[in-house]
Amino acid sequence: MMRPPLFLKMRFRGKHRRFSLWLPLFLIGPLLLVGALILLPLVLLAAIILFPFGWSLTVLMFGPLVLRVLCALRGLQVDIQDGKEQVYISFK
Amino acid sequence: MSENRRRILDMLAEGKVSVNEAERLLAAMGESTGDTGFSTAGETAKDERKYLRVVVEPNPDAGPGAEQHRVNIRVPMALIRAGVKLTSLIPSNATTKINEELHKSGVDFDVSNIKPENLNELVDAMKDLEIDVQGGQEGKVRVYFE
C-alpha cells in the first residue's frame, strides 16, 4: 500500500523575493480525513441524484482516486534553477 | 531453483550438453512453464524503476556570463499510473461530447478507445525510454527511468 507523503518542502527564490515553506503533511492528513467523513453523506446523496445522468460512478470514485494521486506524490521532486532564480518542490 | 533447471545445469557441468544446448533447453522450459524463473539484472532493474527523471545540466564550457539553467525533476511512476487511472472517471456521455468536439476540430479520434490497461502498457513500455542529448548551449539533457 502506498504511504502518503509526510512532508512538503517548497522554496521559491527570485531576483527580489524569497519564499520557503515546510509543511508537515502528516498533521494535515487527519484533518482531511475528518473533512472527508463529514462530506461522505453529501457525496452519497450526490451520487444518488446524479445516477440517472451517469455521473454517480464519477462522484463515488473521485475521492479514492484523488487519494491515490496524493499518496503517489511521495517522492516527487522538482528543482529548477535559472541563474539566481530557483523553484524547489519536494514531497517526502 | 526448480528440479528440471538443476538437472540441466548439472548436465552442463558434467559436459553432457553444450552451452548452446543448455540455453535452448532452459528457454524451452521457460516457454512451457510461462516462467523463466531467472531474471537478468537488467530485467530486475527495469521492474524496480520507480521514478522518471528529467535532468538538464549546464554546459561547463559556457562562459561566465552565460545563463546557467539547471533542471532536476523526479516523478514517481506511481503518480503517472494514478493520473492514468483518473481517465476512468470520464463518464460515457462525456466521451460522446468530447468526440464531437474533436471531430469538429478535425481530429478523427475516439476517446472511448483509450483504456487504462492500454495506457498502463504504454507506461510500462516507457521504462526502457532513455534520452540523452549532449552538446549545445544547454549542456546535457537526460530523460530516463531509475
Q: What would the pLDDT profile of B14-25 be if each residue is shown by its tens digit? A: 888 888 788 878
Q: Are residues B123 and B107 in the same domain?
A: yes
Give the closest residue to B50 by CA, choosing from A80, A49, A6, A72. Answer: A72
| B-chain residues near A57 (CB < 8 A) | 89, 91
Classify residue A5 by burial, with Cβ atoms within 10 Å: 0-12, 13-18, 19+. Answer: buried
Residues A83, B68: Cα–Cα separation, whole Å: 5
Each residue's pLDDT tens digit, B36-74: 444 444 444 445 678 889 988 877 766 666 667 788 999
Q: Write the single-letter amino acid at A61.
A: M
Q: Are residues B14 and B53 in the same domain?
A: no
Contact B79 A62 (CB under 8 A): no
Q: Are residues B15 and B55 in the same domain?
A: no
Residue A79: pLDDT band by 50, 70, 90 thresholds? very high
Find the length of chain A: 92
Q: Are residues B110 and B60 in the same domain?
A: yes
Separation in Å, CA of B59 to nearest CA in chain A: 13
**Interchain CB contact of A78 with B (< 8 Å):** yes
Q: Are residues B26 and B53 in the same domain?
A: no
Asked whether the predicted pLDDT for residue B34 surpasses 50, the reply is no
Each residue's pLDDT tens digit, B88-129: 776 666 777 878 888 888 877 776 676 667 766 777 777 777
| A-chain residues near B83 (CB < 8 A) | 69
What's the domain count of chain B? 2
Quick one: average pLDDT of A9-37? 89
Q: Are residues B54 and B86 in the same domain?
A: yes
Q: Are residues B70 and B138 in the same domain?
A: yes
**Interchain CB contact of A92 with B (< 8 Å):** no
Instruction: Identify the three-state secondary structure at position A84.
Output: coil
Give the closest residue to B123 by CA, choosing from B90, B82, B92, B94. Answer: B82
**Interchain CB contact of A76 with B (< 8 Å):** yes
Contact B85 A80 (CB under 8 A): no
DSSP for chain B, written as a single string? --HHHHHHHHHHHHTSS-HHHHHHHHHHHHHHHT------HHHHHHHT--EEEEEEE--TTS-TTS--EEEEEEEEHHHHHHHHHHGGGS-HHHHHHHHHHHHHTT----GGG--HHHHHHHHHHGGG--EEE--STT-EEEEEE-
Q: Are residues B43 and B99 in the same domain?
A: yes
Query: Could you state, in order of their start, the residue ranges of all structural domains in chain A?
Result: 7-22+29-91
Residues B5, A7: Cα–Cα separation, whole Å: 48
Q: Is the separation of the CB atoms in B91 and B110 below 8 Å? A: no
Q: Is the dihedral of CA A74, A58, B124, B25 positive or negative?
A: positive
Q: Which domain holds residue B101?
A: 39-145
Q: Are residues B19 and B74 in the same domain?
A: no
Q: Is the separation of the CB atoms in B57 and B128 below 8 Å? A: no
**Interchain CB contact of A38 with B (< 8 Å):** no
Specify the pLDDT at position B62: 63
Mean pLDDT of chain A: 88
Q: Is the separation of the CB atoms in B11 and B34 below 8 Å? A: no
Residue B137: pLDDT band by 50, 70, 90 thresholds? low
